[in-house]
Structure 1
Amino acid sequence: MGYFLLYLHREADEGCKKHLGRVLSIWEERAVYENDILDDLKTALYGEKKTKKRPYEEIKLDKDEDDDEDEDLSKITPEEPPQTTDLIHALQELENAACGDAAVHQRIGSLPVEVQDVSLLDKITDKASGDQLSKMVDDACMLLADYNGRLAAEIDDRKQLTRMLSDFLRSQKEVLDEKEQQLEVRNNLTFFFYLPPPPPLYIVLHSKGTHLNSHVCFRYEFHREAVGQV
């Protein structure tokens, strides 16, 4: 893109530059690209800008801000999971994405050969035909620039949707793990409280006396409650 704009800076007329400048302004308003990239594109289109020296205080302030940003990035935690309605809305927005715009695809595919084949420039014989070709080139540049901007915005939307889906799946997994732990604890408690009581324990003690012909048997029945009291 930069080389293309640099070529237009040398070869294109002011009308074409004006149209492309409007496209760059639209990209800036929609935050399609970062400001540094847009500044480079504007420089390529309008020419090199003389850089001014920055004072030491401004450079030091930028350095301190960068250090603060690095410290903040190290403390970043996963974002809050999105709501289901937000995911549905994001998916519906992608239904109108640039890659699925059949009408624009058809317009791009039907661009005249004159704006695609540079060798046809030799066929320009007068000013009228040159102006006509210049208008076709301007229209094609506007169409392609707008389409490229929509594609860039679509890429950002898809990246954002990917992050949203990742956060949503992470939150759902955490909820599922928590529910499984609660279910396991509940099952263990149910098993403990509903155990059948053990059968009574019988202990038979035999005592044989020296002048008794029969055995004296003492039987003690220990129930579960008695064992608990002991």
Structure 2
Amino acid sequence: MASFNEDGLKKKLDDLNMSQQSIQTVSLWLIHHKKHAHAVVNVWYRELISATDSRKLTFMYLANDVIQNSKKKGPEYNREFGSKLGKVFDHLGGLRLDDKSIKGLNRLLTVWEERSVFDADQIRSFNKNFNKDHSKEKSKKRDHSKYESKSKRHKKDVEEFEEIASEPRVRRESELTEHSPQDSTPPSDPPEPEQLIEALQELESAATSDAVVREKIASLPDEVSDVTLLNNLQDLNAARALSQKVEEALAMLEVYNKRLAEEMEARKSVARMLHDYIAYQKDLLAQAEETLEEHRQKQGKVKKVREELKAHLQNLPDISKLPNIRTGGLAPLPSAGDLFT
């Protein structure tokens, strides 16, 4: 996995846009680097404060996606964002934001309250800080219909991203079983390499790899599975003996079939993990290729400067070959008389 650094994070935040794919891609990367949550949130906070008013809602949607989708992996981001959001909403409350941003931010606060993302005291504090200067503006807008057209222009965008604000990026179990991992669905959080390796190793001891049980099943006598052979029974003792074999075979097959069903689910899970892991690696590969191209261009510029510098140095006189003034290497200047004779 790519290592974390603040410059890389700043570049991702510079490139961040309001599209769901952009937000989820950056969110996925941040959740993977959750051990750097403190540094991540500090950089996010500084970049949000310096961002234009029109981009601040994008930063908040990113924070929401990270907070809601990192809960299952640990409390790091909830804790770090919780310590900064009071200042953030105080900052946002002092700005003259457009209707789209105000509605989107209030929607976030409502969702966080409904889902207990933060405790009640924090939500009240966030609401107080944010809405301190917006209540008067809201009442004025209710009295003037001229603002309705502007609100309608933003309605579609707000509705589109309310889903981002309100729904964590978690697929239902039915979706996971009905569709193959190769479907064009957005990837979930990528697994850690250790998790993926462990899941693959567990498949080595799966039911289909159990040669002993498979050999036992293959060697079962024909009479336990062929009803037509019951006519060959000669007496009660033979029937009882066959009945015992059938019961043993049935018990063995029931256990083995259960293991096969568990293996099937495990393989589906591993397939999803591989799908998400590969998708994440492709994203990192694209970023690496972009970074490589940028550094190749910089390298070309540095080489050009080096060549120009070499050419410049070659045109300079060799100071080491000049006479040394201190040791009298230069001829004495002519006298005034010598100049006029």
Q: So what's the TM-score if we normalise by structure 2? A: 0.34
Query: Which fold has the larger relative contact order, with Cα–Cα distance below 8 Å and residues 6 or more apart in sequence?
Result: 1
Work out which of the two has the higher radius of gyration on C-alpha atoms and give 1 or 2.
1
Larger strand proportion of the pair: 1
Larger helix proportion of the pair: 2
Q: So what's the TM-score if we normalise by structure 1? A: 0.49
